[in-house]
Amino acid sequence: MVNRYLEMSTAHLKEETIGMLKDMDIPYCVNYEEGVFISVLDLDHIDAQMRKLYDELPEDLRILQDYARKLGVSLIWLDRDADITEGLPVYEW
86 occurs within a structural domain = no
> Do β-strands 5-9 and 29-32 pair in parallel, antiparallel, or remain unpaired?
unpaired
User: Quick one: residue 72, left, alpha or beta (phi over 0 = left, psi -120 to 50 = alpha)?
Assistant: left
Count how many domains the chain has: 1
Does some domain include residue 19?
yes
Asked whether residue 88 is domain-assigned, the answer is no
24 pLDDT more than 90? no
pLDDT, tens only, 54-78: 899 999 999 999 999 999 999 999 9
Mean pLDDT score across all residues of the chain? 92
pLDDT band for position 38 (cuts 50, 70, 90): very high
Cis peptide before 58 (omega within 30 of 0): no
Amino acid at 89: P
24 lies in which domain range?
Answer: 5-79
- Establish if 92 belongs to a structural domain: no
Contact (Cβ atoms closer than 8 angstroms) between residue 29 and residue 38:
yes
Q: What is the pTM of this model?
A: 0.90
> How confident is the model at residue 77, as a pLDDT?
97
The whole-number pLDDT of residue 47 equals: 87
